[in-house]
Amino acid sequence: MKDRRLPSPSPIRREVVVVITERYTRLDGSGLLPWPAMTPPIDLRSDTVTQPTEAMKQTMMSATLGDDVLGDDPTVIALQERCAALLEKEAACFVPSGSMANQVAIRAHTRPGDEIICHEHSHIYQYEGGAWAAVSGCSIALLHGDRGQFEPADVAAVIRMNDHHFPRSRLLVVENTQNRGGGTVWPIDRIEAVTDEARSHGLRCHLDGARIWNASAATGIEPAEYARHFDTVSACFSKGLGCPVGSIVCGDTETIEHVHRGRKMLGGGMRQSGMLAAAALYALDHHRHRLADDHTHARILAETLADCDAAEIDPRSVETNILYFDVHGDASAIVARLDESGVRCLDSGPNTIRCVTSLAVDRSGIDEACAIFRRVLGSEGTW
Ligand SMILES: Cc1ncc(COP(=O)(O)O)c(C=O)c1O
């Protein structure tokens, strides 16, 4: 029987419905260009802009799921076991973000009133909303040093005397690769030296390894070789690897128990997170080893920029996928001009711009970006 509540659309109305449906089907279903269609910009703002590939999405869709807060999501368990094995630690905990990974690790190692030691440019100090104070009640002793690194003597110099007047020096945090330092890779012997120094004073050691995969791709040193110097290691899947979300913390069983408790307390317990863990497993299998391409792309960009009149960079300073360059002019105005020209990057100081290469930009995108840099910052550019 005909349903009288729904009037049949007029021919014109029906046509409009079809057109709109097609646009939205393409946008939702196939990840094609948003409507209205336009050339997407070359996005060099961060390696966090990478998106899941179709194959990764398929893997996510077919993941076996449970309830991870109840501890029975098989895909999360598989990811945690895989990461613990990769980093040669006893246990691992899957968390939503790199910031949470670092902060639950800090909380697991410290008591309120303790002091953390790290570089002044480290992510845990600069960009995690002061969580070291708010979540763990700690103070921080900041170290200085070129390109985000420091020496054992720097660590020794800030360790407190065991006296009740002072906070208790408790945790050393190292970041590898070092983001603000320009994606720099810590030499393994310097890691060993600074962590040995910290341990000799009874401190624990945490590695912010958000980009440990990049460090490993750049040096050929296995992640476990870096991890062996630390009590806990955090690593991200949502930087350069295409995952929509997700990080891991690895360490000994007892510490990871504390990490689990901290994750729950901060609202980071997720339920059917096997969908996200499936993306991370896919990324480890399929995207990790291509990070070396991003490093090659970063060097190509750096060499192009070194030839541009309005930019200053030493291409030899580019070790992984992050590059900072100085500009002769107002960085925010230059970033706006680059944006209009089709390349997105970030100004990170009055005269400094940051670019990050990733899965989001392939070799032809890099070549196009180089052409735009030459046009905007080269001899024809007016700054
Ligand atoms: C070195 C480092 N650690 C931690 C993080 C935090 O990761 P998230 O943005 O997932 O919180 C970042 C983010 O860029 C980072 O660069």
Domain ranges of the chain: 11-51+290-377, 54-286
Backbone angles phi, psi at 326, to 5 degrees: -90, 150
**Helix or strand (DSSP H, E) at 24:** helix 11-25
Q: How many CB atoms lie within 10 A of CB 316?
A: 9
Whole-model pTM over 0.85 = yes
- How far, CA to CA in Å, does 275 sit from each of 65, 171, 243, 255, 280? 7, 34, 11, 26, 9
CATH of domain 11-51+290-377: 3.90.1150.10
Ligand 1 atom at shortest distance from the alpha carbon of 46: 14
For β-strands 311-312 and 346-349, DSSP reports them as: unpaired
pLDDT in tens, the chain (383 residues): 334 444 444 444 444 433 333 333 444 444 454 444 567 899 999 999 999 999 999 999 999 999 999 999 999 999 999 999 999 999 999 999 999 999 999 999 999 999 999 999 999 999 999 999 999 999 999 999 999 999 999 999 999 999 999 999 999 999 999 999 999 999 999 999 999 999 999 999 999 999 999 999 999 999 999 999 999 999 999 999 999 999 999 999 999 999 999 999 999 999 999 999 999 999 999 999 999 999 999 999 999 999 999 999 999 999 999 999 999 999 999 999 999 999 999 999 999 999 999 999 999 999 999 999 999 998 655 66
Taking CA atoms only, the protein residue closest to ligand 1 atom 13 is 98
CA of 19 to the centre of ligand 1 (A): 41
Where does ligand 1 bind, in terms of residues with CB under 6 Å? 97-99, 102, 123, 175, 179, 208, 210, 236, 238, 247
Structure tokens at 112: 């309120």
CA of 206 to the centre of ligand 1 (A): 14
Pick the CATH number of 54-286 from 3.40.640.10, 1.10.3720.10, 3.90.950.10, 3.30.390.10: 3.40.640.10
DSSP state of 225: H
